[in-house]
Structure 1
């Protein structure tokens, strides 16, 4: 998986939190980002929180507001999406199953007083793949306000991840992941979780940002959320994360080339396809072509 090499201190932090996440299915990282950035993002989204209607349906929550496309609603959303520690952890944990990761979701949510506890679930169940063998995504919960047990902090079932997702019942009781703005809760797509009930007089606001394997269909349709005319304003790394890159071999291409081509100005009327293979596939193909050419020379 292609990424910039982290600095030694950051590499140590990535290793530490990755290990916690693999062992427990979740981790809480304190003071990941300045609280001022979070408060600024909350302010930027104030009108969206006020004007967005309540969700419909028992899963989303009828006393909950949710909206996505955070990258076009506030420039501060990029600081969360592209945080180097978070990306480093995500890339390390998902690397065994993909060539590149992708942004799965950016969603702000407000849990209003009277909200019922959410149905406990695992986000990996969006995809009907093998359970207990593959990790499909990493979730990151960013609180905008204090998350407490009273106002519906996310409930986490520790140790319910990985192969234990095959068990009928989790082995441990859930706990409320209480957080302050600036901290982050990370949990695996295989970890059982759900929003708590809001029994307070306060609105619990925050955002969830998630990343998944680059060959999956993401929860939020990134190409509709950020079409080329929008993605063209992103830097290369962010545009790649929202889907404007191929996943080798040749997956997610445009006319046989990397879709980042759409962000670079006018295209010729016709373009030719270009291989985008993994190194092991390139090596096997090279051996195959060498044999084919050698055979052709012998026959001639």
Structure 2
């Protein structure tokens, strides 16, 4: 277990301790009945037209018998309950919060895997970021099944203990060590960005559908470009929490600003009402600047 995972387990609310403990130990956990099955059904119904119209993916990784939909807040109002789930966001904060001012959406994606689809190559989602691995986590993903998950219909396979420092040890991937949890709609599968995983083969006669909500450190470039996916005219209709997760917040010091200000200004006003750029420094930076200004005032 890495130091950040140990701290996460120590700091967690007692009701969430079992989930944080398993995430820290195994790299994944299941939160049963996180939402009602009825809510998931309504979301699935909203996504049905998009799946019908979507083309299949290209390439063996995305899956040529797989369909993927992004920008879920535009496709269904029911997606916000998944994205802004309070207990899950608290767990996300425990694992990612030490390394950033705030977390952000890395992706909102719905996935449909057709019968006959082969298993996906095992991978770690953190590998999209070219940075040091082991001590910190870049991502935490949540899979919400829209249809029941079981080993025969392509349930996500996970390799327990493959996360954290184990991700840089280069151990052999052995299929028999993978687990494919059985999940019902309404449950949530959480796993770290360093956890080895992959979709299973769909050997059933029906499509396996799911939603993936991914969260990442707020200073990273996310998988889905939020300002193209949700421009200001769209995002101004979001709740404040959803807008913040979708990138309309400034990450200290001044990362992601618009004309030197927090981009959330664009949701309530326009560029013509902007004032001059303003500081948004980290505490140690503000202290350094203040100390320098005081020193300049000392008579020579």
Which TM-score band (shorter chain)? over 0.9
Q: Secondary structure at the match of 1:56?
A: coil
Between stretches 268-277 and 211-220, larger displacement belongs to 268-277
Bigger shift: 164-173 or 124-133?
Answer: 164-173
SS of structure 1 residue aligned to 2:284 = helix
Q: Distance in 1 between matches of 2:132 and 2:123?
A: 16
- Residue 278 (structure 1) shift: 1.9
Kindly provide the CA deviation profile for residues 63-84 of structure 1, in whole angstroms up to 9, marking residues without a partner as x. Answer: 1110100001000000000000
The corresponding residue for 1:245 is: 249
Question: Any idea what SS the aligned residue of 1:164 has?
Answer: helix
Could you tell me which residue of structure 1 aligns to residue 34 of structure 2? 32
> Matched residues in 1 for 2:237 and 2:78: separation?
15
Q: Tell me the distance in 1 between the aligned counterparts of 2:180 and 2:271.
A: 52
**2:21 corresponds to which of 2, 19, 22:** 19
Aligned to 1:144: 146
| CA shift for structure 1 position 269 | 6.5
Q: Within 2, Cα distance between the matches of 1:270 and 1:237? A: 22
Q: How many residues align?
A: 287
Deviation at 1:97, TM superposition (A): 1.2
Gaps in structure 1 of 5+ consecutive residues: 1-9
Query: Of 123, 126, 146, which residue of structure 2 is paired with 1:124?
Result: 126
Could you report, residue by residue, the CA deviation over 1:74-110 in whole angstroms, capped at 9, with x for unpaired residues? 0000000000011000011101211110000000000
1:1-300 matches, cutoff 5 A:
11-169=13-171, 173-268=177-272, 271-294=275-298, 298-299=299-300
In 1, distance between residues paired with 2:22 and 2:106?
Answer: 22
For 1:7, the equivalent position in structure 2 comes to: none
How far is 1:286 from its partner?
1.7
Give unmatched runs, 5+ long, in structure 2: 1-11
**Matched residue SS, 2:272:** coil
Give the distance between the partners of 1:170 and 1:14, measured in 2 at CA.
Answer: 32
| 1:132 CA drift (Å) | 1.1
Q: Would the alpha carbon gap of residues 15 and 291 (structure 1) be closer, same or farther in structure 2, given more than 3 Å must change?
A: farther
Q: Give the CA deviation at 1:59.
A: 0.3
> Displacement of 1:19 after TM fit?
2.1
Change (3 A) 1:25 1:227: same
Answer with 81-90 or 259-268: which moved more: 259-268
- DSSP-derived class of the 2:13 partner: helix
Q: Do 1:152 and 1:195's aligned partners in 2 also have CA atoms closer than 8 Å? A: yes
Question: C-alpha separation between the residues in 2 aligned to 1:161 and 1:231?
Answer: 34
Deviation of the 1:62 alpha carbon:
0.7
Separation in structure 1 between the aligned mates of residue 123 and residue 82 of structure 2, nearest angstrom:
24
Root-mean-square deviation (Å)? 1.4
